[in-house]
Structures are given as structure tokens and as C-alpha cells.
């Protein structure tokens, strides 16, 4: 655990905990679905990941950095291993077999903060398919997340007052490749991959059409962590008055990852 900021009286500040995992040396063998394989410069990927960690700390997160999993190429993308809510954490069963062993160490870590539930066979779901908007969970219907898992999530969360809505996704890996939260009721959406009408009642910002991967932002403490790779959409976000913190994760993008994928945020 990295040192947590203290206030002037030396007391611990109340903050979010961000769970991260170091980039695996085997990341070059990652799963890829919608993009072509390119060489990944591991040193650059690790340096970018450290910048991401520093940015989270500067925004008030206490970071728990797990060691790399050398034999699990995609293990840096911890978002897919769990859905963390105030009441409990659901450990996922990732959609591709190569990623299933990633959940064991995440469960041990999350057990410090939350009661745990587990998605069981034959359910499969990736955390990247789950968008939590208050007491509503939008879950993407993708190759990674099936109806059995969605039923299990619904069964776990209905008694806690959550509504679960499924959302068709076309052309990208996860729901959160196509839509993320930029504010409590504000969504950043790529309408080519997901129908904005599915999120009724919420305000929408559409990505610039030239930047198809630009819909993934990480909302944190009222600002958003956002990839430097999408200047046109960033301009739209700033024009809406959003506090945008740039990050360059271009090497991890070659593994089909983005800004939400690299952390699990636990409100503590």
C-alpha cells in the first residue's frame, strides 16, 4: 500500500481506494478482439501506468498496487474482475478463460473492504460491461457477458434496491468502451456503438466522430481522467465545464485497454 496523504493535523483524509495491478511482462500476449496486434513497449506501458497511479494519488486516492501476474497478460485491467458497490463487491467470471485466474487475488484484496459475492458457472461477465449510475446498473450484452451472469447480478442486487438494465453493444469490446459517466447524470457516448436512448433521462455528450475510442473516461472526485489521445472530444468535454485530467495510456490502448480498465475504485 502506498502512503496516504494526511491533513495538516496529521489525520487520515477520507478518500477513495484505487486497486491497481502492475503491468504484466507477458502483456504482448493479451487478448484482442477489435484491434490488430502491435508490439507493446513494456517499459513505456509501465511508465504510463505509473503516471496513472500518480494521477490517482494526486486526486485523493489511496492506491493499493498489486504485484504483476507474469503469466496473466491482461491482469493490469483489474476493472474486469469485479463490480464494486457500497454494499458489496461482485467478483466476476471473465468472459475469456485466459482471464479467469485474475480474480483470485482481487477477491482477497476486496475482502478487506467489502462483503463479496461471486458470479458462478455458467455466468460470464467482465466489469468493463457494467456501468453503475447511482442505483441503476447498465450491463452490456457483449461476447464477454452473458444472460446467466446478468441474471445472477440482478438476483444479488434487486434486494439492495438496484435496477439492472441490459444494453446491446455493437462494434467494441465492452459497454464502457462505448459509454461512461462524466458526471452524476452526464454520459459520454459513442452513438455508433451504443444507442444513447437506452440511458433515458440523462444528459449525453457524443464523442467526436473522428475519435471512436473516446467514450471511456474515469469519473473521480468531480473531475475526469481522460486519454490524451482524443483532443477533439476533450475540447467538447472542457466546453461543458468538465475538469479534465489528461493521461497518456497509448501503450495500454494497444492491448485494448483504456482509463477505467486499469483501476477498481472503492469508496472508503
Residue 150 binds to ligand CIR (criterion: CB under 6 A): no
Site string for ligand CIR, 104-143 (x = CB under 6 A): ------------------------x---------------
Residue 31 binds to ligand CIR (criterion: CB under 6 A): yes
- Report CA-CA distances (Å) from 69 to 28, 103, 114, 248: 13, 11, 23, 23
CB closer to ligand CIR out of 10 and 128? 128
CB closer to ligand CIR out of 123 and 128? 128
Residue 17 CB contacts under 8 Å (≥ 6 apart), including other chains: 61, 62, 63, 64, 113, 265, 266, 268
Distance from C-alpha of 31 to C-alpha of 99, rounded to nearest angstrom: 9
Is 49 one of the annotated active-site residues of the chain? no
- Annotated active-site residue in 61, 172, 261, 262: 261
Q: Using CB under 6 A, which residues numbered 81 to 100 contact ligand CIR? A: 99
Residue 30 binds to ligand CIR (criterion: CB under 6 A): yes
Residue 102 binds to ligand CIR (criterion: CB under 6 A): no
Helix residue ranges per DSSP H, 130-223: 147-157, 175-178
CB nearest ligand CIR: which residue?
A: 128
CB closer to ligand CIR out of 51 and 98? 98
Distance from C-alpha of 230 to C-alpha of 235, rounded to nearest angstrom: 9
Judge contact between 218 and 260, C-beta under 8 A. yes
Is 174 one of the annotated active-site residues of the chain? yes
- Residues identified as active-site: 174, 261
Amino acid at each position: 500500500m502506498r502512503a496516504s496523504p494526511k491533513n495538516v493535523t496529521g489525520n487520515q483524509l477520507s478518500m477513495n481506494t484505487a486497486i491497481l495491478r502492475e503491468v504484466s511482462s507477458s502483456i504482448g500476449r493479451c487478448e484482442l478482439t477489435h484491434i490488430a496486434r502491435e508490439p507493446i513497449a513494456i517499459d513505456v506501458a509501465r511508465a504510463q501506468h505509473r503516471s496513472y497511479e500518480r494521477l490517482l494519488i494526486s486526486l485523493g486516492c489511496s492506491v493499493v498496487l498489486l504485484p504483476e501476474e507474469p503469466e496473466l497478460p491482461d491482469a493490469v485491467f483489474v476493472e474486469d474482475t469485479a463490480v464494486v458497490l457500497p454494499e458489496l463487491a461482485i467478483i466476476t467470471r471473465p468472459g475469456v478463460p485466459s482471464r479467469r485466474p485474475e480474480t483470485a487475488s482481487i477477491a482477497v484484496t476486496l475482502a478487506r473492504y467489502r462483503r463479496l459475492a461471486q458470479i458462478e458457472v455458467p455466468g460470464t461477465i467482465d466489469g468493463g460491461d457494467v456501468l453503475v449510475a447511482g442505483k441503476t446498473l447498465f450491463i452490456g450484452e457483449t461476447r464477454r457477458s452473458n444472460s446467466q451472469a446478468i441474471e445472477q447480478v440482478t438476483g444479488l442486487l434487486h434486494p439492495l434496491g438496484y435496477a439492472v438494465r441490459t444494453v446491446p453493444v455493437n462494434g467494441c469490446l465492452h459497454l464502457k468502451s462505448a459509454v461512461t459517466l462524466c458526471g452524476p447524470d452526464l454520459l459520454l457516448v459513442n452513438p455508433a456503438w451504443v444507442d444513447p436512448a437506452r440511458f433515458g433521462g440523462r444528459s449525453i455528450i457524443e464523442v467526436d466522430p473522428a475519435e471512436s475510442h473516446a467514450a471511456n473516461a474515469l469519473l473521480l472526485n468531480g473531475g475526469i481522467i481522460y486519454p490524451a489521445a482524443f483532443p477533439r472530444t476533450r475540447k467538447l468535454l472542457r466546453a461543458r465545464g468538465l475538469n479534465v485530467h489528461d493521461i497518456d495510456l497509448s501503450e495500454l490502448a494497444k492491448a485494448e485497454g483504456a482509463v477505467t480498465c486499469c483501476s477498481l475504485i472503492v469508496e472508503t
